[in-house]
């Protein structure tokens, strides 16, 4: 018969009593200088083991025992016909289980990042109608118009002409029919982008940079690729989940610290979207009898205008490419030029 030494407190004051616990005739017997009680182990609550921290046995009247001698308590509980350790406690006590948990978590995180999250975001985005997501677009445009962007300075006739060509381009595709949004923006520079609800914004700067309307349409075809595949919305969804997960994981150390890996992880998603939109554009342009290489030509020119002339690629630049939201232009140009007519 095992006896376990314990500390006893009656729950009414802080006085400590040294006691011994034994299990006999179906009762847990608590014995000390001034203490003598018999308790049923079925009504007492026995705390789970947490590492080497003391375990507690609470009785119904608020009294409790603290036990630091784990081995003896486990023997006593076994003698009394009780499972001495819970499943989770047993898992927590083995390094092998800890290592296995770690590997499972890592594998799960990688799988979720590479396949799970993109797939879930895609399915969710397909279920959100363009008209619902369009409210985000209106909100975003309002924000942009408060500083970052100004009304377009292109003549109305030019805008109307581009608008007509844009409508011709998307004819035959099941795409939302929101008008093209023209804006001037020295801050953003030569650019075009698709918003989550399917609105496409194009800046005067990129229109002026283009040497022909075909180049402009090539860019618009790329943006229609983003719209058709709901990239902006998917990006919004999976990007916020990545941000949420990382903030939860490292957030209590520093919220600021969470931003760098978040950007890094989100960047891979957007790079994949760019590649996919390039492919969509190339096929769309070919279907309309246009030259897909025009997109490549404009991308090349954009690159030169953004980078300046005297800049050489360094090792650091290659690393920074990881942080970039777009794949390297060289790679994109090469890919677009490789897409064969069907």
Partner 1 sequence: MHTEGLNIRFTGKGGEYFRIWIVNLLLTVLTLGIYSAWAKVRRMQYFHRNTWLNESNFDYHGTPIAILKGRLIAIGMFAAYNVMINFKPLIGLAILLVIAIVMPFLLVKSFRFRLYNTSYRGLRFGFTGSFKGAYLNFLLLPVASLFTLYLLAPFTHRQIKAYQHNNSRFGQTAFSFDAGAGQFYLIYFLTFLWFLLAGALLGVGAYFIFNHAIVEAAQENNRQMFMYIGIGVYLLFIIAMLLLVPYFTSRIQNLVWNNTRLGMHEFESNLGAMKLFWISISNFLLIIFTLGLFKPFADVRMARYRLQSIRMMPAGDMDTFLAASKQDDGAMGSETAEMFDIDIAL
Binding site for partner 1 (CB under 8 A): 7, 9-16, 47-48, 50-54, 56, 62-64, 66, 88, 91-95, 97-98, 101-102, 104-105, 108, 135-136, 139, 189, 240, 249-250, 252-254, 256-257, 259-260, 306-308, 311, 317, 320, 323-324
Rounded to whole angstroms, the Cα distance separating 334 from 84 reads 66
Range list of H helices, 80-155: 87-92, 95-111, 117-127, 130-145
Residue 153 vs 306, nearer CB to partner 1 = 306
DSSP state, residue 340: P
**Coil, strand or helix at 20:** strand
Residue 24 vs 109, nearer CB to partner 1 = 109
Tokens representing 322 are 């990881």
Provide, rounded to whole angstroms, the least separation between the CB of residue 220 and partner 1. 22
Provide, rounded to whole angstroms, the least separation between the CB of residue 157 and partner 1. 30
**Coil, strand or helix at 73:** helix
Provide, rounded to whole angstroms, the least separation between the CB of residue 255 and partner 1. 11
DSSP state, residue 198: S
Provide, rounded to whole angstroms, the least separation between the CB of residue 43 and partner 1. 17
Residue 13 vs 338, nearer CB to partner 1 = 13
Provide, rounded to whole angstroms, the least separation between the CB of residue 189 and partner 1. 7
Rounded to whole angstroms, the Cα distance separating 318 from 315 reads 5
Residue 74 vs 285, nearer CB to partner 1 = 74
DSSP state, residue 81: T
Q: How far is CA 112 from CA 17, 33, 118, in A?
A: 53, 60, 8
Residue 145 vs 317, nearer CB to partner 1 = 317
């Amino acid at each position: 018969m095992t006896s376990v030494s314990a500390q006893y407190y009656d729950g009414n004051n802080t006085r400590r009593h040294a006691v011994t616990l034994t299990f006999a005739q179906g009762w847990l017997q608590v014995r000390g200088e001034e203490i003598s009680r018999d308790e049923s182990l079925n009504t007492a609550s026995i705390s789970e083991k947490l590492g080497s921290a003391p375990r507690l046995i609470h009785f119904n009247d608020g009294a409790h025992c603290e036990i630091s001698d784990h081995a003896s308590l486990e023997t006593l509980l076994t003698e009394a016909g009780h499972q001495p350790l819970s499943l989770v406690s047993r898992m927590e006590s083995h390094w092998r289980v800890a290592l296995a948990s770690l590997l499972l978590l890592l594998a799960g995180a990688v799988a979720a990042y590479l396949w799970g999250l993109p797939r879930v975001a895609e399915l969710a985005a397909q279920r959100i109608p363009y008209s619902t997501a369009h409210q985000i677009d209106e909100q975003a445009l309002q924000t942009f118009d408060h500083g970052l962007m100004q009304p377009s300075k292109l003549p109305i006739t030019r805008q109307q002409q581009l608008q007509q060509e844009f409508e011709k381009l998307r004819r035959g595709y099941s795409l939302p029919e929101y008008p093209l949004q023209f804006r001037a923006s020295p801050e953003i520079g030569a650019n075009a982008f698709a918003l989550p609800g399917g609105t496409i914004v194009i800046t005067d700067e990129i229109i002026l940079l283009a040497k022909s309307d075909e180049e402009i349409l090539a860019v618009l075809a790329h943006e229609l690729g983003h719209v058709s595949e709901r990239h902006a919305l998917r990006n919004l969804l999976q990007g916020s989940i990545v941000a949420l997960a990382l903030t939860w994981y490292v957030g209590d150390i520093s919220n600021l610290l969470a931003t760098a890996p978040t950007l890094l992880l989100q960047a891979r998603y957007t790079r994949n979207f760019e590649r996919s939109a390039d492919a969509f554009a190339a096929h769309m342009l070919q279907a309309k009898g246009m030259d897909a290489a025009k997109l490549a030509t404009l991308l090349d020119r954009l690159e030169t205008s953004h980078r300046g002339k005297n800049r050489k690629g360094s090792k650091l630049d290659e690393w920074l490419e990881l942080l970039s939201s777009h794949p390297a232009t060289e790679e994109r140009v090469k890919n677009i030029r490789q897409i064969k007519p069907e």
